[in-house]
Structure 1
Amino acid sequence: MTIQFVFLEAFSAVAVFTLFLLVTGVLLVREVWTTRDPDVRLTDGPSLSAIVPVYRDHDVLSISVESLLESEYETLTVTVVAEPNDEETLAVARELATRYDRVECLINGNPGSKAGAINHAVETSAADYFAVFDADEWIAPEFLPRAMGELQSGADVFQGRRVPRPTGPVETLAYCERIVFHASYKVVELFGFTNCRSSSTAVTRDAFDRVGGYRDLLTEDLDFAHACYREGLTVRQVRGCTNTMEAPHTLSDLWGQRKRWRVGQIEVLHATTGELPRGRLGRRGLVSIGRMCSSLLGSLLILAVVSKIALLFLLDVESTLLVPGAIVLATIGAVAIRDARDDRIDGLSLSVVLVPMIYPAFGVLTLKSLLEYCLSWDGEWYHVQKTGA
């Protein structure tokens, strides 16, 4: 009787997890494959400042700047914001500003953080619309016209999709991991919460001022997304509008980057809950905290689900492993085909078959990040090596 109960309990948990993968996968694939609407694009209009905050990015800065200069949106300036002590990147930024009339180089007036660089660029600009990108991003020519079309149509914030370039085995894992988590975001989006970050993002000045810009946190973009939700801003997310970024090239870099993001999420949760005693959050603030808690708890619950999958596999119920694995790979395959057709990627490495291992790995990563943040984290953050690949 004990064995039978454990079997049924494990089977029901795995069945729910499999249904979750199926529903979220279908929703993501449907969104990525949605027909692009050319009527929403705006190729000329109000002045737009594309902000590229940089730090030790001298090898990759030209990727974002030169792709932005090929944008189909005409009234555009590109503002590179460099740190005052980063001489190599400053030299590249100044050379690009000399070569191209629409590029300007700023020295961060709030040095030491990406959030400070973005805020400084907005403060010194006369534009009413801003877009933010990382130095290693390749920005599609149609991205800014679509973003400006949505902002002019009433959106406060526009968020596109950004994926790592899968140029090798580790890079393929990074690409697939992003698809897995883009799919998981679909659940909270059904309830009105939309992620908006500090890359592949466009925002009006009014919306930027309403949330007070970006806060100086490890994951300032996640904090910005929750601030936009708490303020009730309209965030338009279009995952069919895709840019690419450089992926980590080693497992150590991949792990370090993802742990930085996870520790940053815990920091944002800590900072947000600190506002509860002052009564500044309200209903949306409580939902925001619940969203962050559910994300962390969900990652930890994955470890329990994986143990149940392993148990059922040992009891010769192979379908409990094969079915969810097949759903994950099918979701990745469908999205990758769309990205390949749009010339965003050239293909995937055979390491794609290891993607199901992302789930237990992320559960372990979340547990480790929680313990480190509570016991030993000193504010240091991991910097991934970028080579321009």
Structure 2
Amino acid sequence: MKAIASINTVIYTLLTVLYFYQFIYIVIALIGEKRKKKQPEYEPKKLHRFAFIIAARNENAVIGNLIKSIKAQNYPSELIDVVVVADNCTDNTAEIARSCGAIVYERFNKVLVGKGYALDYAFNKIKEDEGDYTAYDGYFIFDADNVIDRNYVREMNKTFDQGYRVVTSYRNSKNFDTNWITSGYSLWFCREAKYLNNPRMILKTSCAVSGTGFLTSSEIIKKNGGWKCNLLTEDIQFSVVNILEGEKIGYCDSAMFYDEQPETFKQSWNQRMRWSKGFYQVMFKYGRELIAMAFKKRQMFVSCYDMFMTLAPATLLSVGCMLLNLIFLVLGAHNFTLFKKVFPVAMESIGFACVSFYLLMFSIGLLTVITEWKKILASPKKKIISLFTFPLFMLTYIPISLVALFKRVEWKPITHCVSKSMEEIELQQQYKQ
């Protein structure tokens, strides 16, 4: 019985040690908030020219609001172009995008399916039309369901102008208050912005791109000959590749955009299944190189270690520990005397793991809700309820991670239907505090 207890202790201690740095991140984020207010605002030396690249597949319900929010930016309009790739569309996404003032390329390819291929198509068309990828200083990558704050480009330009060739931003949600699934996503993304990317930026280590809402220099696109990240999670692959090549990904917390989260468990299951499988793909492809680079170049240790732990399947290690205890229970069932000894140890371990996980996620959610209260688009009641459902949402990653390990996963489109303009979001912010 001591062997079972010892194995459990070793696994839990190992996980605590490996991820302890993220608790340090929390302290840095809270301290850094006070110091940031005392620092003078950076004035950019140049207003750069940008293009927004939007890969859209049957997004006629939402594409117009994103383009309108881009056109309404507090930034010279002649320095912003909007490029939409209507990717295998069977609706009028292309027509709506054109009517809103976007440059539209229509792509029809049923073999090379996915956002990465659509982005590469857009960049190649820009090179063909403009003569070079560097016709723009940088490219914003967005999903069609997003909308952006009026000062988004202005704020991102400040960070870009400081020399960061990849910059990510604050990912908020349009539909936090729909149900426990949307609030679960939303809290995680707010936490990611505030307590992961923010402290990384303070420490001047590398941040990480998360799906959408980021800026990349045209020099990087030119160096790569377009967009070459085509795994199931092209965003995390793009982050890892750039970190390994010595780039420091920046973060601009004053640039906010709003994302739509899946509202049904089926959609959420499919999306997170793709994310989990994509993380495995990136880990298997780049994990060894990240560890090697962390020890090869000391200045890259934190960035490489941090990214490796982001990819590491900690969920599987926890599940493995629980399964080990269940196996001991099954084996002990054939011997009543042995079962009496094994049962309390195994159940105590499983119970401890579940309660600890719930309390940890509750604490993370509580801290995030408190500090990001004014940014969250929901009533006070729904914000409080989300604290209790957030750990349950995170627990659903356990079966998803297990199935993704063995199942073949392909990219599937997510239906977006929350048509909400930036003006509507601003009104919601005023009335739901």
- The count of corresponding residues between Structure 1 and Structure 2 is 373
Matched residue type, 2:237: D
Question: Does the Cα contact within 8 Å between 2:139 and 2:216 map onto a contact in 1?
Answer: yes
Percent identity between the two aligned chains: 16
Distance across 2 between alignment mates of 1:213 and 1:198: 18
**Is 1:207 aligned to residue 220 of structure 2?**
yes
Report how far residue 327 of structure 1 moved: 2.2
- Name the counterpart of 2:106: 107
Report how far residue 314 of structure 1 moved: 5.9
**Is 1:174 aligned to residue 185 of structure 2?**
yes
**Is 1:360 aligned to residue 374 of structure 2?**
no
Distance across 2 between alignment mates of 1:41 and 1:309: 59
**Is 1:380 aligned to residue 410 of structure 2?**
yes
Matched residue type, 1:258: R
Of stretches 294-303 and 258-267 in structure 1, the one that deviates more from structure 2 is: 294-303
Alpha-carbon spacing, 1:108–1:172, altered in 2? closer, same or farther (3 Å): same
Report matched runs for 1:1-389 at 5 Å.
2=2, 9=9, 13=13, 16=16, 22-28=23-29, 34-35=36-37, 39-40=41-42, 45-74=47-76, 75-83=79-87, 85-97=89-101, 103-108=102-107, 112-123=113-124, 124=126, 125=130, 126-165=135-174, 166-169=176-179, 170-181=181-192, 185=196, 189=200, 192-197=205-210, 199-214=212-227, 215-272=229-286, 291-292=307-308, 295-303=311-319, 311=348, 324=360, 326-340=362-376, 348-349=382-383, 350-372=385-407, 377=408, 380-389=410-419
Report how far residue 366 of structure 1 moved: 1.7
Alpha-carbon spacing, 1:143–1:300, altered in 2? closer, same or farther (3 Å): same
Question: Does the Cα contact within 8 Å between 1:54 and 1:134 map onto a contact in 2?
Answer: yes
Question: Does the Cα contact within 8 Å between 2:362 and 2:387 map onto a contact in 1?
Answer: no
Question: Does the Cα contact within 8 Å between 1:269 and 1:289 map onto a contact in 2?
Answer: no
User: When the two structures are superposed, what TM-score results if normalisation uses the length of structure 1?
Assistant: 0.78
Report how far residue 310 of structure 1 moved: 7.2
Distance across 2 between alignment mates of 1:44 and 1:80: 26
Matched residue type, 2:370: A
Q: Provide the secondary structure at the position in 1 that maps to 2:147.
A: coil
Matched residue type, 2:178: G
Q: CA RMSD in A?
A: 4.4
Distance across 2 between alignment mates of 1:318 and 1:303: 10
Alpha-carbon spacing, 1:27–1:45, altered in 2? closer, same or farther (3 Å): same
Matched residue type, 2:184: L
Report how far residue 338 of structure 1 moved: 4.3
Unaligned runs of 5+ in 1: 98-102
Report how far residue 4 of structure 1 moved: 11
Matched residue type, 2:156: A
The one-character-per-residue Cα deviations of 1:284-329 (angstroms, maximum 9, x if unpaired) are 89986994476333222343688899726968x9995785355223
**Greater C-alpha Rg:** 2
Question: Does the Cα contact within 8 Å between 2:206 and 2:248 map onto a contact in 1?
Answer: no
Alpha-carbon spacing, 1:45–1:330, altered in 2? closer, same or farther (3 Å): same
Q: Provide the secondary structure at the position in 1 that maps to 2:148.
A: coil
Distance across 2 between alignment mates of 1:225 and 1:56: 27
Alpha-carbon spacing, 1:294–1:204, altered in 2? closer, same or farther (3 Å): closer
Question: Does the Cα contact within 8 Å between 1:211 and 1:227 map onto a contact in 2?
Answer: no
Alpha-carbon spacing, 1:223–1:199, altered in 2? closer, same or farther (3 Å): same
Question: Does the Cα contact within 8 Å between 2:362 and 2:388 map onto a contact in 1?
Answer: no
User: When the two structures are superposed, what TM-score results if normalisation uses the length of structure 2?
Assistant: 0.71
Distance across 2 between alignment mates of 1:107 and 1:71: 26
Q: Provide the secondary structure at the position in 1 that maps to 2:158.
A: helix
Matched residue type, 1:200: G
Q: Provide the secondary structure at the position in 1 that maps to 2:276.
A: helix
Alpha-carbon spacing, 1:136–1:359, altered in 2? closer, same or farther (3 Å): closer
